[in-house]
Amino acid sequence: MVTSIILLKVKRKKVNEVAEQLADIPGVSEVYSVTGKYDLVVMIRVKTNDDLAELVTGNLVNVDGVKKTDTMLSFKAFSKHDLDSMFSM
């Protein structure tokens, strides 16, 4: 399982619309609106790096209103919550 965290800057009046579109993409497990430098945080959980590449370059770029993204890859999960959800799939 590949877990990625994507930080997004979004056009001001499109935050809710973008969040809803992202939440409907297969592989996107959570979308959070946040305070700070970014507008949205997107959690992605897919089987392979190729699936991640396809999701980011094939789907994310087609969402109107996204101005900038920063993508981080997770190496290891330490949270009990994350571990419990992985085994419940």
**What integer is the mean pLDDT of 26-33?**
96
pLDDT: which is higher, 85 or 1: 1
Q: Is the predicted pLDDT of residue 1 greater than 80, yes or no? A: yes
> What domains lie within the chain, and their CATH numbers?
2-87 (3.30.70.920)
> What backbone torsions phi and psi does residue 49 show, to the nearest 5 degrees?
-65, -35
What are the respective helix, strand and coil percentages of the chain, to the nearest 5? 40, 35, 30
Look up the pTM and report it.
0.84
Instruction: Note the pLDDT of residue 26.
Output: 95
Residue type, 67: K
